[in-house]
A and B are shown apart, each in its own frame.
Chain A
Amino acid sequence: MTDDLIQTPPTPVDEAEAVRARQRSRAVVMAVLLGLFVVLVFAISIVKIQLGHGG
């Protein structure tokens, strides 16, 4: 029971892993957003061409 109460300080390996996990999740979100942006730009281009607003 006492062991549960003792908190060991995080090791450098734990911290590095936590940072990498955070960076990974941010990279995934960024990749999804960029993918959606590409689709949006494509759709806007098609609409503009259809409407005759080339520029």
Chain B
Amino acid sequence: MSTSAATVSLPADWRDFLALTKPRVMTLVVFTGLCGMLAAPVPIHPILGFTAILCIALGAGAAGALNQWYEADLDAKMKRTAKRPLPAGRMDRQSALHFGVGLAGFSLALMYFAINLAATLILAASILFYVFVYTIWLKRRTPQNIVIGGAAGAFPPMIGWAAATGDVSTMPMLLFALIFLWTPPHFWALALFVKTDYANAGVPMLPVVAGERTTRIQIGLYTLPMILCAAAPWPLGYTGAIYGITAAVMSGLFLAMAVQVAIRRSEPDDTMAPEKRLFKFSILYLFIVFGALVVDRWFA
């Protein structure tokens, strides 16, 4: 932790506060939360559903802001993140901290008063887990950072489900497990082609610490339980054929790409095309599998 790279002379622009919430990451969080809510067996009033999703988005934004507050020094060292408001010197760290804490408090208060205690507690757990366990404790210490830290990103469907039903059952736990197991192959595919960036910043990502070979094998190994989790809801009777077939096809494609990444070795000046393809496909995978869950629930 250190002060930001440049001096701040003007008050931060509102767009910088928006950037602090990591809007692109939030898209996936909101989508999986929405799908968790729509897949629940109990319908929720649209206004309350909108409020619950808003709270999930604000909570994720708060966690993103606190992550950037703590990691300003790391972000300044990586090309991918150097233009963020804090390392670029467009905002002071105290503003980021106040914004993050305020937004977290607001999202939890709104969730509690408008929705229910179960959803509030899970949202609180996800914010605290992302900030304290992933950002502050694990990220700079262990190559398992994104494995354990991945739990933070896995909470949204559970929050959406809890917002609709008021509790948590086997199905949202399976959705949690699916995102939890999806996170390592997704992030390690990225880490393989931005390895230098992570190494320069001193982040112990798996390719930096254990090497490319181990990372590739781990991508393949994590993909296996991930596809089992994706497929499980159909044979267990929680979903119908629309979800089952979509999940099976998408998981087959994911496995094929993961195996391709797992068995290859990069050459000097390698474009890392299979790794980039797996990374992009992994995002599409989650969108389609979760989308199929909702289609299955509402249209089957």
Q: CB-CB < 8 A to A22: which residues of B? A: 10-13
Contacting residues, chain B, for A40 (C-beta < 8 A): 51, 54
Complex alpha-carbon distance, A25 and B18, angstroms: 14
**Contact at B11–A26, with CB atoms within 8 Å?**
yes
Q: Is the interface of A mostly helix, strand, loop or mixed?
A: helix
Question: Residue-by-residue, is B44-76 near A (CB-CB < 8 Å gives 1, otherwise 0)?
Answer: 010110010010000000000000000000000
Tell me which of A18, A44, A51 contacts B51 (CB under 8 A).
A44
* A26 and B14 contact, CB distance less than 8 A: yes
Does B114 interact with chain A (Cβ within 8 Å)?
yes
Q: Are B48 and A44 in contact (CB under 8 A)?
A: yes
Chain B proximity of A4: nearest CB distance (Å): 24
* Residues in chain B near residue A51, CB distance under 8 A: 45
- Contacting pair B14 A29 (CB below 8 A): yes
CA distance A29 to B47 in the complex (A): 23
A15 to B51, CA, bound (A): 40
Q: A38 at the A/B interface (Cβ < 8 Å)?
A: no
Query: What is the interface size of chain B, counting residues whose CB is below 8 A from a CB of the partner?
Result: 13
Does A15 contact B13, Cβ atoms closer than 8 Å?
A: no
Q: B117 → chain A, closest Cβ, in Å?
A: 13
A23 within 8 A of B: yes
Contact with A along B1-37 (1 / 0, CB 8 A): 0000000011111100000000000000000000000
Within 8 A of B (CB), among A14-44: 15, 18-19, 22-23, 25-26, 29, 40, 43-44
Whether A19 pairs with B10 at a CB distance below 8 angstroms is yes
Give Cα A8 to B22, complex, Å: 36
How far does the Cβ of B295 sit from chain A's closest Cβ, in whole Å? 26
A22 CA to B47 CA, complexed, in Å? 33
Contact of A47 with B11 in the complex, beta carbons under 8 Å: no
Contact (Cβ within 8 A) A18 B45: no
Pair B48/A47 contact, Cβ less than 8 Å:
yes
- A8 to B: closest C-beta gap in Å: 17
**A43 CA to B9 CA in the complex, in Å?**
40
The answer to whether B13 and A47 touch across the interface, beta carbons within 8 angstroms, is no
The 10 closest A-B pairs by CB, nearest first: A29-B14, A47-B47, A44-B114, A43-B47, A22-B11, A26-B14, A47-B45, A22-B10, A18-B10, A47-B48
16 residue pairs A–B, Cβ–Cβ below 8 Å: A18-B10, A19-B10, A19-B11, A25-B14, A26-B14, A29-B14, A40-B51, A43-B47, A44-B47, A44-B48, A44-B51, A44-B113, A46-B47, A47-B47, A47-B48, A51-B45
Q: Taking beta carbons and an 8 Å cutoff, which residues of A are in contact with B? A: 15, 18-19, 22-23, 25-26, 29, 40, 43-44, 46-47, 51
Given contacts A15-B9, A22-B11, 14 further A-B contacts (CB under 8 A): A18-B10, A23-B11, A25-B14, A26-B11, A26-B13, A40-B51, A40-B54, A44-B47, A44-B113, A44-B114, A46-B47, A47-B45, A47-B47, A51-B45
